[in-house]
Amino acid sequence: MASQIKIEQVKSPIGYPKNQREVLRSLGLRRIRHVVEREDTPAVRGMVRKIQHLVRIVEEA
């Protein structure tokens, strides 16, 4: 099984570009303090990097 990362939304996407809001939604994040667990792949890491000012990585397994 591939490693997993937990991603938490810490800031609202209001006032940010539409593409950044779409990245949040595609990761499955819907509201502040919402945590999702995703597979640790380069694609997911790239998405997190694009919105690093809105999320934080809670845990890497």
Give me the domain span that covers residue 21.
4-60
For 9, list phi and psi in degrees, rounded to 5.
Answer: -80, 125
> For the chain, what is the domain count?
1
In CATH, what number is assigned to the domain containing residue 10?
A: 3.30.1390.20
At 55 the pLDDT is 98
Cβ–Cβ < 8 Å for 38, 7: yes
SS3 assignment, position 33? coil
Quote the pLDDT of residue 60: 75
- Are the CB atoms for 23 and 58 separated by under 8 Å? no
The answer to whether 52 touches 8, Cβ cutoff 8 Å, is no
User: pLDDT 10s digit of each residue in the chain, 61 long?
Assistant: 679 999 999 999 999 999 999 999 999 999 999 999 999 999 999 999 999 999 999 977 6
pLDDT for res 24: 97
CB 3 within 8 A of CB 40: yes
